[in-house]
Amino acid sequence: DAKTTQPPSMDCAEGRAANLPCNHSTISGNEYVYWYRQIHSQGPQYIIHGLKNNETNEMASLIITEDRKSSTLILPHATLRDTAVYYCIGANTGNQFYFGTGTSLTVIP
């Protein structure tokens, strides 16, 4: 599985877009980029995933660079409930997930 690197923490003003970067320079061609978040004392929650193309769902957008070495998760209008630790994971479907250290996002009122 690809090793991922994320900034340890970020702040974002409520209502503004939160842009969370992830470096996965060793990702292989058939590994997806998955994003999860974990709110304190809960299990991780799926957000979005992608292979090559940018993706959007009701929660977020995922921008993957053309060389697939990095990606950015975008929460378009951050709310206080988006305060969590966000994990970026590179993995093949069906393989186990190895979590990195993630980014602790704090949404500020």
Partner 1 sequence: GAVVSQHPSRVICKSGTSVKIECRSLDFQATTMFWYRQFPKQSLMLMATSNEGSKATYEQGVEKDKFLINHASLTLSTLTVTSAHPEDSSFYICSARAGGSTYGYTFGSGTRLTVV
Which residue ranges make up the site for partner 1 (CB under 8 A)?
Answer: 32, 34, 36, 38, 41-46, 49, 87, 89, 91, 93-94, 96-102
* Distances in whole angstroms, Cα of residue 6 to Cα of each of 3, 77, 94: 10, 21, 23
Nearer to partner 1, 96 or 109 (CB): 96
Tell me whether residue 93 is exposed, middle or buried, using C-beta atoms within 10 angstroms of its C-beta: 0 to 12, 13 to 18, 19 or more. exposed
The two tokens of residue 50 are 């992608």
Residue 4 Cβ vs partner 1, minimum distance, rounded to whole Å: 11
Shortest separation between residue 85's beta carbon and partner 1, angstroms = 8
Smallest distance from the beta carbon of 95 to partner 1, in angstroms?
Answer: 10
